[in-house]
A = this chain, B = another copy of it.
């Protein structure tokens, strides 16, 4: 049987705190047990605070992708114009959903090491009257980049456009705010910066988005993809549309509690500090970062170009098998071009950063890459702003 890794420094699912893991081992309750109903409601309350929103929140019982498809399925109808912002693999992927539900895609794309310029969004909306929805990815985990959702959201709202934003790996790395950022459907997940387990999609729905779902012709109901079911059945009627994933809800409650104990602002500052230190460490090793500019580098992962002469398998395979540190490869079309050093959730910590870089350095050196052992760790620790 394959040895388990010592450190999961991947791009998600990430390490989960022992406390959350213990919470997930609580006895399984019947979903209509009064204790579970209470726990579920309390969890929704915590989720609102983590989202920093007064919008309704909805917890879909499947991985974050379910939330993304559900947003499309619940909103987009044949002929609807959707401005899809593409700065990476995930942004591009969304077009599949626009297509499936009959939308008409207007694509605004940049190279995958870049971020969307809000002014381009403005221009696109001006050039394309009648755009109904805008879809965007806050944090493009595959590229290790972030888009300026706040500015984009505001411009969209100025144009009366409803926004759907994938902030799965964004929340926790920045101070997300649906209202402040003009996000009508925010889709998050527990398994990235929040340090939870995968298996749930976390949504915050603005009144405008609810209205759009109710007015969709026809509204999507009686489906695993329906967000409205949760409004009509659960929020208004106290009945679950289907059996919730009890154990995952236990984990989510614990995850959110810990997030709020730290504070969402402190959590964002921490991720950003570790990410900046990681970049300093990588540069000190003479390696190139994938994102074109530091300003758009993600707090959640640091994407590093694979140095000439080395392969993804060599670096990642050795780090995992010999040193017990699991990192992530490039995803989709980026595979083979970069590796990703993760620093999300509880793994966004000086100890795990130092461990990861130390093992990375040694691996590079053992494959003949000219590296001064300790240079990366030293530069990272030197650059690290820590309370």
Contact = CB atoms under 8 A, between A and B. Distances in A.
Interface of A: 1-8, 10-16, 18, 21-22, 24-35, 38, 61-66, 69-70, 96-97, 100, 191, 197-199, 222-225, 242-248, 251, 320-326, 328-329, 349-352, 354-359, 361-362, 372-379, 381-382, 384, 386-387
A10 B27 CA distance: 13
Most buried by B among A30, A31, A61, A325: A30
A351 B374 contact: no
A69 B198 contact: no
Given A63-B242, A223-B100, A354-B358, A5 B29 contact: yes
A372 to B, nearest CB: 7
A358 B378 CA distance: 7
Contact of A382 (B13, B27, B251, B373): B373
A189 to B, nearest CB: 8
Nearest to A355: B351
A27 B15 CA distance: 7
5 contacts: A61-B63, A198-B247, A322-B387, A351-B359, A354-B354
How many copies make up the complex?
A: 4
B199 A322 contact: no
Contacts of A325: 351
Most buried by B among A4, A8, A100: A4
Contact of A245 (B199, B356, B382, B386): B199
A141 to B, nearest CB: 11
B14 A18 contact: no
Most buried by B among A28, A100, A245: A28
Contact of A5 (B13, B26, B35, B384): B35
B358 A34 contact: no
Given A32-B328, A247-B251, 11 more contacts: A8-B30, A16-B27, A18-B25, A22-B25, A24-B247, A62-B224, A63-B244, A69-B223, A191-B243, A354-B355, A354-B358
B25 A63 contact: no
Contacts of A15: 27-28
Nearest to A168: B243
A241 B30 CA distance: 30
Given A222-B100, A358-B377, A30 B326 contact: yes
B61 A62 contact: yes
B6 A351 contact: yes
Contacts of A197: 28, 245-247
Contact of A377 (B225, B352, B374): B374
